[in-house]
Amino acid sequence: MSDQRNRIGEVRVHAPARLHAGFVDLNGGLGRRFGSLGIAIDRPAITLRVRPADHLTVTGPSADRVRRSVERLSRDAGLSDAVAVTVEEAIPPHVGLGSGTQTDLAVATALACLEGRHAAARELARVLERGARSGIGLAAFEQGGVLLDGGRGGLDAAPPLIARAPFPDDWRILLLLHSGGHGLHGAPEAEAFRRLPAFPPDAAAHLCRLMLMVALPALAERDVQRFGQAIGELQRIVGDHFAPAQGGRFTSPLVAEALGWLEDQGIPGVGQSSWGPTGFAIVGDAGQADRMAGQLRQRWAGTPLEILVCRGRNIGATVENTAAASGVSIGLGPPVRRAVGEK
C-alpha cells in the first residue's frame, strides 16, 4: 500500500449531519426494536482532508475526537495512522445531530481510500460499532434523504434501511441549537434506556401505522402539513416516554419554549433530534422559513438559542481525491468526486 499512498495527494470527505425524528417501535414485541425515522440535512457537516505523513497529526475543530477515531481504526482495522488530518468543519458533539457516527465514518472512509481500499460504509460501521440502535446515521452517510430503518433484529448488524425518499427541494428545516447544551450520551444514555418503563405495544403499533400510512405518503405527495403533523405526533409520544430521563418532552426548556411558539404559528412538524438539545421545525416554504428564523432570533435575542435555516440533503457523503499526475485511482471508481452511495 505504500506506493499507492505515495501517489495519492489527499482525500477529502464531506458528510452531512442528520436529524433523528424518533423511534417507531420501542416495544420490540415482534422481534425487532427501535426503528427510526431520520432526515439528512445540509448543515452542519463534517469535512476533513487526509494525506500521507510521517506520523499522525490532526488540526481543526473536534481534533481530539478525530484523533481517537484514527487511532481506533489503526488498531482495529489495520488502517495506517501515518496521516495528517485537517478538519475544515465539524458537527457539534452530543447535541443530537449524529456527530459521532458521521465523524467516524468520514475518517474511516478517508483512511480506506488513501490506501486504495473499497470504502464500504456498512462494513466500516461494523468495525466502529456504529448503528447499535439506529441505522439513520449510516443511511444518511450512504445516501441522504428521508430515511426509515427497520430496527434491530437478531443479527449483529446495523438496522436495515426499509424506506428512503428525497426531502423536497422547496421545503426547509429550522434548526434550533442551544449553545453550550448537551444531550445524554455514552454510559448515561445506556443507563437511561435500561431504566425507562416498557413501551406500550399499542403505542408502537400506532407509530408504525403513522409512519407507513401518513408520514411517508404525505412526503411522496409533498404535503408538508400532513407530514409535519405525523412528525409532531411521533415526537409527542416518544418525547413523553423519554421525559423521565431528559427532564421533560424536550431536553432544553429554551428550545421547548421556541418550539411551542412555532406550533402557535401553525407549524405542526416540530421536535427534538435524538436526545437533543437541538430542536427542529419543518417548513414548506423558503421565504416563510427565513421570516420565522428572523422572528425567532429577535424574540430570543440575548439567549443561547442559535437558529439555522437548512435544506434536506438528498445525497450521502462525498469523497474527492487529489492524485499525482499519473492519475492513480483509490478504489472508488469514476467519477473522482462522488457521493458514497452512488453507483
Q: Rank 1-15, 107-121, 146-160, 262-276 by mean pLDDT and report only the highest.
A: 262-276
> Which domains are assigned to the chain?
1-166+313-343 (3.30.230.10), 168-311 (3.30.70.890)
Q: Is the model's pLDDT at 335 over the cut of 70?
A: no
Instruction: Give tens-digit pLDDT for 32-50.
Output: 999 999 999 999 999 999 9
Q: Is the model's pLDDT at 56 over the cut of 60?
A: yes
Interatomic CA distance for residues 299 and 231, integer angstroms: 25
* Torsion angle, alpha carbons of 145, 148, 151, 153, to 10: -90
| φ, ψ (nearest 5 deg) of residue 72 | -70, -40
Give the residue, 117 or 294, on which the prediction is more confident: 294
Instruction: Give tens-digit pLDDT for 275-286.
Output: 999 999 999 999
> What is the band of 199 on the pLDDT scale with cuts at 50, 70, 90?
very high
Q: Is the model's pLDDT at 306 over the cut of 80?
A: yes
- Does the pTM surpass 0.95? The reply is no
User: CB-based contacts of 319: which residues, under 8 Å, 6+ apart?
Assistant: 11, 12, 13, 109, 110, 113, 119, 332, 337, 338, 339, 340
Q: Supply 12's cell numbers.
A: 477529502
Residue 335 preceded by cis peptide, ω within 30: yes
